[in-house]
Structure formats: structure tokens, C-alpha cells
């Protein structure tokens, strides 16, 4: 709830709030919701390799191998 309030208070500019919501969804196996939160966060700041990796894992869980490939490719480009 705190991160949702932070997201609203920042006028939808605080990428950390979306990353944290993504982590929360991953912990509760809410794969599709995690992907949405990570995508929003990465649209704001694409330099977080851990978020790309987590989004790739969530995409694999949903069977979206295209999105997983893109996410894992970004991880490798950020952290060779």
C-alpha cells in the first residue's frame, strides 16, 4: 500500500515504487502483475538489470518467451 501511495504521490514518476510492487508480486507468484509493474518501472529507467532479469523470469512463468528473450537480452547487455 505504501508503494502504491508513493507511485500516486510522485505523479507516476517513481520507478522504485513500481520495482518494489513487482518484487511483491513475484514473491506472491502473481506473474502477470509483476510483468506490468516491472515494465512500467523499466519504461521510466531501463538501467536496472535485476528488474530485467525478474521480468524475464515472470515472463517465462506466463509462457511469454518473446518478452523473456527481450528481458534476458537486456540483462546481458547491461551486465556482460
pLDDT in tens, 32-78: 999 999 999 999 999 999 999 999 999 999 999 999 999 999 999 99
2 has pLDDT over 90: no
pLDDT at 6: 85
Distance (Å, whole) CA 25 – CA 75: 20
Identify the CA nearest to 21 among candidates 45, 41, 43. 41
pLDDT in tens, 53-62: 999 999 999 9
Amino acid at each position: 500500500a505504501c508503494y502504491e501511495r508513493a507511485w500516486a504521490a510522485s505523479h507516476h514518476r517513481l520507478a522504485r515504487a513500481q520495482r518494489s510492487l513487482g518484487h511483491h508480486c513475484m514473491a506472491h507468484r502473481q506473474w502477470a502483475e509483476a510483468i506490468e509493474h516491472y515494465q512500467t518501472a523499466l519504461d521510466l529507467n531501463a538501467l536496472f538489470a535485476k528488474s530485467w532479469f525478474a521480468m524475464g523470469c515472470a515472463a517465462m512463468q506466463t509462457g511469454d518467451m518473446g518478452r523473456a528473450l527481450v528481458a534476458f537480452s537486456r540483462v546481458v547487455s547491461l551486465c556482460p
